[in-house]
Chain A
């Protein structure tokens, strides 16, 4: 707590937890009248020389579906385990329901976890598994049976009480694990990549089911995943993490449409990146004009509201492949309409992917660009031709995202 405090953090710690919450809310920009369920205030976790979580600050609102998204080793699971109580923060403080939880063991926290490999107790049947938490609280037998029945009905496993867990399918085991956690009515439900072990089709089904379930029970979910699609499907808020730090957080649309840095733009979906230098900035519209290293001039939106940029700054322009259009080069002179960029190039590789096709096009001014084209009329909408064929690529300036750093 004493070293390397940012001014904000210093203020927060001086102002106490209420102040800290206010600061946290202001930075996340989430408008919520109630007390956040979980607040992580300047939390750092070190394992020896490795810093797993680095001065993290996050406020998780009541009743929302949060995803912690990032590659392995980004600190998302460590964060989850600190909320659950399996790890203690090296620095900083975590508040659960407004109360600091440092030193409170996992079994006294009103938080439940769905583990990656379910962690169902092999020596207990489904009902005993689900009722485990209730029994620890000395809930009466009749009451236990009633609530277990309810929880199983909730996950569509009514009637499976006496089944052996290890005889069930992965999806069913997953639901047992969910029921076992939900039956305790936790303040927050933590989910540690719970769908990782399922096959793709089942995973997609479960994603929707989980989201629906979360709506139904209204409990705050904190969901750890490295799968961007999973995060986009289910989350109210996605928190992208890398190397122990939060890169960006927001709702799925915001994150996809408006990534604030290159990592987020690349990790969530894919992007074409063009290195450039700022030529002019329009502060009011937060747009900028930049020139690429090869002389291509582009105009685009500066995505990071906190970024202060000026002429001469090095930036990266990101464009989503589906925002680019491609057509065979008909020999007509490239006469671009206002706001549009049009470049001639040659196909290096074309890949038919069923619902869409993907082309790698080499251009003189922007290097290699990935273009995605929806196959709206089936294979007929494919370009035809092959490597080396001349094409024209064009896109509108609204597709240009100017990223700092």
Chain B
């Protein structure tokens, strides 16, 4: 092998250069995209967060940690958002898991139809869908109906944490279902038979085989759902009647109303950090013990 390779270093080198060029070409559009729409803006946000508010609003270059000090003093919106996103992610998972499992394993030839039914509502604007819940849960319909049953004319579903959670679950369900569905669908069905064959019942099989194998999809789905829920403020505004003051509200207030870009930037940086930490802890948690055996969720996978 070695002797065969030595006489042709030029060709090998040329081939390598060519392949590097191709790699570069393939990555170029995404790199430009990320550079200008993610890295650069993030850089600005970080830089702004150490600056000072200009006299008429905006930003003047400076170096101060005051903004972060102020963020730390008013942590409430962060906690509110964190609570909401955690509960929302968990509930979405509870709804999505059985549904994805059904789709992947039991829907049979109607699978395509079910997936279509699941997707169709999302062809409508997000806003229209959220508004629709105003009607469904409103006093003319479900809210009034339940109020009638309870004999409480002032009963309402809207403007409650429950309504917000419902809106969150509804709005982000597909983001959770599809990664789960894909991992479950790809899963070798004979694994389930093997488990039953080895003496594990339905629930034991689900717990020991299906769930661990679906875990990468579950983690992906949770992250996909958690991140936008952290920044969510439209659903709480519409279905929650704007009664909550979330990090999203705080950012809008800082940037548009107070025109205090440095403070808003500091909050944005803390928000991103909060999400990164939460996600890291989460991934670490589900990976406990798995990483050691090389089957970690975000680690190596079978070829």
Contact = CB atoms under 8 A, between A and B. Distances in A.
Interface residues of A, number: 30
Contacts of B74: none
Contact of A122 (B190, B199, B204, B302): B302
Nearest to B294: A164
A106 B197 contact: yes
Given A123-B213, A123-B295, A113 B194 contact: yes
B106 interface: no
Interface string A127-167: 00000110011000000000000000000000000101010
A121 interface: yes
A113 B204 contact: no
Nearest to B290: A123
A125 interface: yes
B295 A113 contact: no
B303 A166 contact: yes
Interface string B174-196: 00000000000000101101111
B197 A121 contact: no
A100 interface: no
Interface residues on B, range: 20 to 34
Contact of B190 (A85, A107, A115, A133): A115
A113 B197 contact: yes
A132 B198 contact: yes
B138 to A, nearest CB: 46
B253 to A, nearest CB: 46
A117 interface: yes
A192 B227 CA distance: 46
Contacts of A125: 293
Contact of B191 (A121, A166, A180): A121
Contact of B193 (A111, A119, A166): A119
Interface of B: 188, 190-191, 193-201, 204, 208-209, 212-213, 215, 290, 293-295, 302-303
Contacts of A85: 196-197
A84 interface: yes
Q: State the majority secondary structure of interface residues on B.
A: helix
Contacts, number: 75
Interface of A: 84-86, 105-108, 111-113, 115-117, 119-125, 132-133, 136-137, 162, 164, 166, 180-181, 184
A112 B295 contact: no
Given A121-B194, A123-B212, A107 B200 contact: yes
Contact of A112 (B191, B198, B303): B198
Given A132-B198, A166-B303, A122 B213 contact: yes
- Smallest CB-CB A-B distances: 8 pairs: A136-B199, A133-B198, A166-B302, A119-B194, A119-B190, A106-B196, A123-B212, A107-B196
Contacts of A112: 197-198
A121 B209 contact: yes
Given A117-B188, A122-B302, A84 B197 contact: yes
A107 B193 CA distance: 9
Nearest to B193: A86
A117 B199 contact: no
Nearest to A165: B302
A123 B210 CA distance: 10
B294 to A, nearest CB: 5
Nearest to B303: A166
6 contacts: A105-B196, A107-B197, A107-B199, A119-B194, A137-B199, A181-B197
Contacts of B215: 123
A132 B191 CA distance: 12
B204 A136 contact: yes
B193 A106 contact: yes
